[in-house]
Structure 1
């Protein structure tokens, strides 16, 4: 299904075009190159631009506007360092790793995600977004899958030192009935006022149909965030 395997290479080109998914193992530094495949709106049948094997790191790459498809898929513990989405197509990145694995998102930026930036599917795993990551004109920064057929246990997200501009729905969405946990510190939101946008928004997840919205929560076992952790700029 995936092609164009890259093993621990350092790339020094400015623009790359691909017609199929590139699978990465080891550490790959794209040195600021712009890479893209295609984009079919919010179609969930799109393939990712990159698949990161367990233990892989991708650095210093720009996913091309209008060609970011389903972004990046992480199959185990992985690291996205200074990755920039000029325009999110379906999702920017999806965590598929299992229990005990972590997708680290250090720095980078994402623009124009009509739904969400980071999708979290793997049960028992963690998504950590930190190091000055910037998002602009997004629906949600993060969503734990609300209706995956495999739902049934917890997912975890840790957000620290992140800056957002124009969040149209909520910063994070989690499923409290499965024990999801969001820990948020040092979050800056342009023009933030209490309730606008929602910060930690909770749902009752399901394995079919649509999840049930519960509402924004603060200082709970699921939403580990206080008002002092969120500031306006």
Structure 2
């Protein structure tokens, strides 16, 4: 895949920025609150990301504009998303593609109107950590470990702490227990939450054939779903 821009440790001071191409980031780039976007083609999975974060990259203080968030941000290894805001999620907000032992850190920020999911997890053996007061509103799922990727065969991990959600239309997380996925959830607040509304940790039997995975239902306090009812509160 070709990308026409490469940003290396820049601090941007512009208030708005629009591009038709993916921007690749190395090092740390602070957008200073600028609004950035490309395009959006609904739930089309052929869309390119707005940003690609190379291993070790950090992106800070940026807003992905409504109607321009495309396939969001792709993380290729250890990376950090700090105070990143999605005004309206297009396909996915961010996708972790890093390999075993790598982590995508999501610190603070927010995401609105994700009809499917906010964070997509493809890289095997890697972790997504969502923390620091991240806020999501009107979303399908906050997180999904890929249910039918062709590389499926081993575990992925997600850690959620100090996150606040408003209107979750499907579930907070979805993981594949047959591959050993693990979700650890603490300090989660959900607007008007009551038991099962929404479901918190939903388990699936994943596959690598492209077929829709089978849901095994919501689980609590298991090896795969490390979350107690006391870890989830209503506000």
- Normalised to the residue count of structure 2, the TM-score between the two structures is 0.99
Name the counterpart of 2:164.
Answer: 163
Distance 2:229 2:148 in 1: 29
- Deviation readout 1:122-160 (Å, 9 max, x if unpaired): 000000000000000000000000000000000000000
* Matches for 1:103-142 after TM superposition, within 5 Å: 103-142=104-143
**DSSP-derived class of the 1:91 partner:** coil
Q: How many residues align?
A: 233
Q: Does residue 223 of structure 2 align to residue 221 of structure 1?
A: yes
* Matches for 1:143-154 after TM superposition, within 5 Å: 143-154=144-155
Q: Does residue 203 of structure 2 align to residue 202 of structure 1?
A: yes
- Deviation readout 1:166-225 (Å, 9 max, x if unpaired): 000000000000000000000000000000000000000001111111000000000000
Distance 2:6 2:19 in 1: 12
Distance 2:95 2:148 in 1: 15
Name the counterpart of 1:55.
Answer: 56
Question: 1:2: Cα distance to partner?
Answer: 1.5
Of 204, 212, 215, 2:214 maps to 212
Name the counterpart of 1:86.
Answer: 87
* Matches for 1:174-185 after TM superposition, within 5 Å: 174-185=175-186
- Normalised to the residue count of structure 1, the TM-score between the two structures is 1.00
Distance 2:191 2:20 in 1: 37
The ranges of structure 1 where at least 4 consecutive aligned residues each deviate by more than 3 angstroms after the TM superposition are none
Name the counterpart of 2:71.
Answer: 70
Distance 1:170 1:134 in 2: 15
- In structure 1, runs of 5+ residues without a counterpart are none
- In structure 2, runs of 5+ residues without a counterpart are none
**DSSP-derived class of the 2:178 partner:** helix
Name the counterpart of 2:29.
Answer: 28
Distance 1:225 1:115 in 2: 23
